[in-house]
Amino acid sequence: MIGRVISGRYEIEAVVGTGGMAVVYRAWDKLNRRTVAIKVLRPEYEQDEEFVRRFSREAEAAAKMSHENIVNLLDVGKDNDMRYIVMEYVPGKTLKDLIRERGRIAPETAVRMVIRILAAVDHAHKNGIVHRDIKPQNILVDANGKVKVADFGIARLKTAQTTRVDDKQNSALGSVHYFSPEQASGEVADEKSDLYSVGVVLYEMLTGQVPFDGDTAVSVALKHVSEEPRSMRELNPAVSRALDEVVMRALAKESARRYQTAAEFAGDLRKAVTHPRGGFVAYPMTREEQERQREEERRKALRRKRRLQRVSFFAAIGVGVAIVGVLIWYFAAVHNMESVPLTIGSEEAAATGVIAQRGFTPVVEYAYSEEYPQGMVIDQSVEAGEKRRRGTQISITVSAGSQWVYLEDMTGWTLEQVYEELTGLGIAGEHVSVTYAVSEQPIGCVAGQTPEAGYITREEDIVLILSAETVEVPPLTGLTYEGAQALAEAQGLTLGEPVPGYSADAPAGTVIAQSIPSGETVAEGTQIVLTISQPRQMLYYPASNYTIVVPLDDVEVALEITPPSGAAFTGFSGMLDAGTYSIELSSVEQGLHTVREYMDGVLMVETQVMFE
């Protein structure tokens, strides 16, 4: 096959993998000028309907999916009697090769990789596809540690079942070491079966060995059904308690007690990194446990009923004693009660005096009233004649007079006359503000007011316009803020809160704009707002935007950037749904930066990026 050109397009270069029903080659796509992988059905199976059906099913399953962590389908075809599938070529090795090389994979690295595997599995499940053959041999890892799930050769839609264990040839449709108990029993495999297999893969990554092994395929399958796996902590002390608990739930015998979705599994894996002590993994109850719980509740109810019957006699005696106690307390309390006096319509001093005389504590509040004159009680918290215990607080509301006052036309008044008038009306100075304008009124006298003469409330704001001399606005641009302030105040002008701005040539800290141009004639006291030049900070960027792939919905993503100085900062943070995002990053430093991707607090990727 080496050197052969398939369908006039794909030139075979080398064998990269072999399987039971197909051989995978590396090939050169002469049309698109790229390296691809071609899976070719073995010639001896071309006439076997079962193998042809499985080969076609893989193509059908792959065509339904497009995901960052799944080997993408590029083409499907037939060259004479040779059937083939063209897929993207992933340079690297299988996860099985990686486990063999390292023996074990560090827990944090394993969690990052398995979350990506779960993202691929989740995508397949959402498209109605169950893989049924998740194992390290079907997971590819490139040079950058990126994982991709491959080989949907025995995948199925959620309708048919073809699992088979054949001890005569010590083989299985699927791989028996990664079977779920239901697959080993010949039952229908569903999404939870894939999650069990992912749990086996993670177990092997962390310990260097599969949870169940044996001399024959059948013996291994029986262990999946009947034996519990050893704790990973016995094989690798570096595995946290939380991670061990998560994997043990994934390997539960009953599918109802496992994780029900890939997203739920991935969520607990992320939590295991941030909460290594564990204790958060919760198993759904089985039917037997639910029945035992109901039976226990019935027994508790029966015991409570018997206890009630035993104490009923004593309870009756206790009630009698309590009644006698209440009667004694009541007669004692009656002698400490007093009638509340009527205070509405009384002067404040008289009202507080009579309340205190009755043994109560008076509390005074004030409110405007259009009916009662100032100083007279207009309301009380407890109606007259009601009984209250001596010492009780009785609140009275005293009239503060009418809230309406008549505001005169104060045009021509001095500021001193104005404040004297307003104080007499009970209007606080905090409700009065002053502006200036050129007018025919004498300098310093009122030239206008808002509101105009008439009735207003004491809480209404009043704006006074005072007559002022005219001044010419001086040129302030180019000066420092302090210099501009001194010049403006010398001219009788005031400065408002400065506004920051940027200029290509103005020194930092100098005025680059003023709200009223120089040379204009304005009233003395007019406010001018200055724009102050800010130091422009040089920013550096990568050659292209940073690309991040989010595997699941509702993931909290953060990009932490460490520049050459070592002072790390957050370049991006936010909640993102599943997808690929292009994010613009910037830094005040030039050179090689370290960028770390965190998803829900878990470090997923660490890479080097040049900022220039």
C-alpha to C-alpha distance for 496 and 483, rounded to whole angstroms: 15
pLDDT value at 381 more than 80 = yes
What is the helix (H) or strand (E) element at residue 500, kind and residue range? Answer: strand 499-501
| Model pLDDT for residues 493-512, shown as the tens digit of each residue | 999 999 998 876 788 899 99
Give SS3 for 401: coil
Instruction: Enumerate the H helices of 275-431 as residue ranges.
Output: 287-334, 348-357, 415-425
pLDDT value at 57 more than 80 = no
User: 352: exposed, middle or buried (C-beta count within 10 Å: 0-12, 13-18, 19+)?
Assistant: buried
Give SS3 for 325: helix
CA dihedral 73, 75, 78, 82 (to 10 degrees): -50
For 451, the token pair is: 């509101």
The b/e string for 256-281 (b: 16+ C-beta within 10 A; e otherwise) is ebbbebbbebbbbbbbbbeeeebeeb
Of the CA atoms within 13 Å of residue 242, those in its CB half-sphere come to: 18
For 609, the token pair is: 């990026």
What are residue 218's phi and psi, to 5 degrees?
Answer: -65, -40
Beta bridge partners of residue 594, listed in sequence order? 562, 608
pLDDT at 164: 42
Instruction: Enumerate the H helices of 165-286 as residue ranges.
Output: 181-184, 191-207, 217-226, 232-235, 241-250, 262-274
Determine the average pLDDT of the residues in 83-102: 92
370: region left, alpha or beta (phi > 0 left; psi from -120 to 50 alpha): alpha
Q: For the chain, what percent of residues have pLDDT higher than 90? A: 57
Residues 344, 345, 346, 347, CA torsion sign: positive
Determine the average pLDDT of the residues in 558-585: 92
For 330, the token pair is: 């009541």
C-alpha to C-alpha distance for 70 and 460, rounded to whole angstroms: 69
pLDDT at 551: 84
Residue 54 and residue 105 in contact, taking contact as beta carbons nearer than 8 Å: no
Q: CA angle, corner 563, sides to 558 and 564, nearest 5?
A: 155
> Closest by alpha carbon to 533, among 550, 556, 512, 549?
512
Residue 368 and residue 402 in contact, taking contact as beta carbons nearer than 8 Å: yes
C-alpha to C-alpha distance for 548 and 566, rounded to whole angstroms: 23
pLDDT at 579: 87
Q: CA angle, corner 542, sides to 541 and 545, nearest 5?
A: 100
pLDDT value at 168 more than 50 = no
Amino acid at 472: E
Determine the average pLDDT of the residues in 550-577: 92
Q: 324: Cβ–Cβ under 8 A, 6 or more apart, which residues?
A: none
Per-residue pLDDT band for 46 (boundaries 50, 70, 90) equals confident
pLDDT value at 95 more than 70 = yes
Per-residue pLDDT band for 162 (boundaries 50, 70, 90) equals very low
Per-residue pLDDT band for 186 (boundaries 50, 70, 90) equals confident
| Model pLDDT for residues 460-475, shown as the tens digit of each residue | 899 999 998 889 999 9
Per-residue pLDDT band for 328 (boundaries 50, 70, 90) equals low
Amino acid at 432: V
Q: 31: Cβ–Cβ under 8 A, 6 or more apart, which residues?
A: 9
The b/e string for 524-537 (b: 16+ C-beta within 10 A; e otherwise) is bbbebebbbbeeee
Determine the average pLDDT of the residues in 480-503: 91
Which of 10-19, 41-50, 264-273, 569-578 has the least mean pLDDT? 41-50
For 336, the token pair is: 């400490």
C-alpha to C-alpha distance for 185 and 165, rounded to whole angstroms: 9
Q: What is the separation, in whole angstroms, between the first and last Cα of the chain?
A: 48
User: Catalytic residue at 133?
Assistant: yes
pLDDT at 166: 44
> Closest by alpha carbon to 604, among 543, 566, 552?
552
pLDDT value at 314 more than 70 = no
C-alpha to C-alpha distance for 539 and 481, rounded to whole angstroms: 27
- Using omega within 30 degrees of 0 as the cis cutoff, is the peptide bond preceding 451 cis? yes
Residue 382 and residue 340 in contact, taking contact as beta carbons nearer than 8 Å: yes
Residue 612 and residue 544 in contact, taking contact as beta carbons nearer than 8 Å: no
Select which of 29, 81, 97, 133 is catalytic: 133
Per-residue pLDDT band for 252 (boundaries 50, 70, 90) equals very high
Q: Is the pTM of this model over 0.75?
A: no
**Contacts made by residues 294-297, CB under 8 angstroms, sequence distance 24+:** none
| Residue reference for tokens 């399958």 | 221
C-alpha to C-alpha distance for 413 and 546, rounded to whole angstroms: 68
Q: For the chain, what percent of residues have pLDDT higher than 70? A: 92
The residue with greater pLDDT, 206 or 434, is 206
pLDDT value at 294 more than 90 = no
